Amino acid sequence: MTFRISRRQTLAAAGAAAAVAAIGRPALAQSLPTGTIRMLVGYPAGGGTDVMGRLIAEKLKERTGANVIVENRAGASGTLACDTLRNAPTDGTVIMYAPSAATVAQTVTKKVLPYDLEKDLATITLAGTVSTVFVVSPTIGVKNLPEYIAWLKKNPKKASFGSTAMGSSTHFFGVEIGQAIGVPLEPVAYKGAAPLIADLSAGHAPAGCGGLTDFLTHHRGEKLRIIAISAPKRATAAPDLPTISELGYPKLASEGFYGFYGPGKMAPAMIAAWNKELRAVLEAPEMRQRLVGLGLEVQTSTPAEFAQRQSRDLVTFAASMKAAGFQPE
C-alpha cells in the first residue's frame, strides 16, 4: 500500500509541475469550447453533489455562453463517472465534479479500478472542503449524540446506519463512531444521498452518514437531524452543529473535498482555461454564499495545489480505512 501511494505522489507532483509550467506560458492561452459541455456527476439527481453541480453549471452558462449540462452517471460509489471521464474527449467538452469520496476513497479501498486516479484524471481546481455528518431519523425521537447512544442501548437490533458511499468517509466515520461509543454500528449501502434521505424521513432507516452538503437542507427541513460533523471546526453554514471533537472524540476529526477534473490527457492549456473559468465562478460572492449555504467551505486552487492535496489525502485516508478495520476489496 505504501508503495502505491508513494508512486501516486510522484506522478501527481510531476503532472502538477507540468500543469503549472503550462499555465505560466501566455502562448498556450486557450478558450473553452463554445458548444455543449458535459459536467459529469457520479450520483443521482437531487443529492448534494448534483445540486451544487447544477448551480455551478448555470453560472458557467451565463459566463461562457456554452450549453453546460449536468450528466448524472450514478453508480459504484461515484467511480462510474470517473471511468466515463477517463474515456471522454480531451477537447474540454467533458469535465467532472466529484467529492473525495468518489476519488481518493475509492482509490484506497478498491484493489482494482478500471482507471488510475492520478494518470487518467487531471486535476483542474479544488472547489472546497466538506464535513462528513452523522444523522438520525426524526422518527426515533433523539436530538443529539448522547440521546442516540441511549436509544441504541434500548434498541440494539437497530444499530445500523445508511452510507451514501461504501468504502468512503461516509462509511468509515459511522463505523468509527460506533467503535468510539462502544456500540458497533453496521453500515448499510445506499446508492447516493437521495434514497437514504427518503428512508430516513420515512423511518425506514434509523441513522445515516454522508456529506454535509447532502444533508444540510434536509436537516433544516426536519426530514432528518444532524447530530455530529467530522470537521475540526464548526461549519460556516451551520455553526449550531457540534463537531465530533467537541462531543469528546477528537481522533475522529476529518474533512473531505470537492473538486473538478478533466480527462488525464487534456492539454495543459485547456486545463488552465478551465481553471480560470471555474475559479471565477466559484469565487463570485453570490456563488460562494450559495455553496456555503449548502455546506461547502469554498476553496479554490491551482491544478498543482489540487494534485498535492489529493496525494496527501490518499495517505491520510488509508490510515482512516485501517482504523475502521476495512480491507481493500
Query: Is the predicted pLDDT of residue 46 greater than 50, yes or no?
Result: yes
pLDDT band at 28 (very low <50, low <70, confident <90, very high): very low
**2-129+257-323 in CATH: which number?**
3.40.190.150
Burial class (CB in 10 A: 0-12, 13-18, 19+), 326: middle
CA dist., res. 38 & res. 102, Å (int): 18
Could you tell me which of 131, 161, 124, 153 has the C-alpha nearest to residue 262?
124
The pLDDT of residue 29 is above 90: no
- For residues 99 and 202, give the distance between their C-alpha atoms in angstroms, rounded to a whole number: 27
With residue 194 as reference, give the H or E element that holds it: helix 193-202
Q: Do domains 2-129+257-323 and 132-252 have the same CATH topology?
A: yes
DSSP assignment of 15-67: HHHHHHHHHT-GGG--PPPSSEEEEEESS-TTSHHHHHHHHHHHHHHHHH--E
Given a cut of 70, whether residue 124 has pLDDT beyond it is yes
Residue 5 has pLDDT above 90, yes or no: no
Q: What is the mean pLDDT of the chain?
A: 90
Task: Indicate the SS3 state at residue 207.
Answer: strand
| Topology annotation, domain 132-252 | D-Maltodextrin-Binding Protein; domain 2 (3.40.190)
pLDDT number for residue 213: 86
Q: How far apart are CA 115 and CA 87, in angstroms?
A: 10
* Structure letter (DSSP) for residue 242: P
What percentage of the chain carries pLDDT values higher than 70? 91
Q: Model confidence at 34, in pLDDT bands (50, 70, 90)?
A: confident
Cα angle: 320, vertex 104, 210; to 5 degrees: 70
Q: How confident is the model at residue 191 (pLDDT cuts 50, 70, 90)?
A: confident
Percent of all residues in the chain with a pLDDT value above 90, rounded to a whole number: 77
| Average pLDDT over every residue of 34-38 | 94
Residue-range domain boundaries for the chain: 2-129+257-323, 132-252
Residues 234-248: what's their mean pLDDT? 94
Range of weakest confidence among 3-12, 24-33, 78-87, 98-107: 3-12
Mean pLDDT of 162-184: 91
To which H or E segment does residue 133 belong? strand 132-136
Given a cut of 80, whether residue 203 has pLDDT beyond it is yes
Q: Given pLDDT bands bounded at 50, 70 and 90, which one contains residue 77?
A: confident
Query: Hey, what's the cell of 162?
Result: 445508511
Cell numbers at residue 65, please?
Answer: 455562453
pLDDT at 240 over 90: yes
What mean pLDDT do residues 189-213 have? 93
45-49, 206-210, 225-229: which has the minimum mean pLDDT? 45-49
Closest CA to 213 of 95, 285, 127: 127
**Cβ–Cβ < 8 Å for 269, 29:** yes
Specify the 3-state DSSP secondary structure of 302. Answer: coil
Q: Tell me the per-residue pLDDT of 276-321, one tens digit each, with 9 for 90 and over.
A: 999 999 999 999 999 999 889 999 999 999 999 999 999 999 988 9
Which secondary-structure segment (H or E) carries 317? helix 303-323
Dihedral (CA of 19, 22, 24, 26) sign? negative
Residue 22 has pLDDT above 50, yes or no: no
pLDDT in tens, 149-161: 999 999 999 999 9
Q: What is the pLDDT of residue 169?
A: 87
pTM of the model: 0.79
Distance CA 129, CA 32 (A): 26
Whether residue 115 has pLDDT greater than 70:
yes
pLDDT digits (tens, 9 = 90+) for 244-266: 999 999 999 999 999 999 999 99
At 25 the pLDDT is: 39
pLDDT of residue 76: 85
Q: Which of 188, 165, 187, 162 is nearest to 175 (CA)?
A: 187
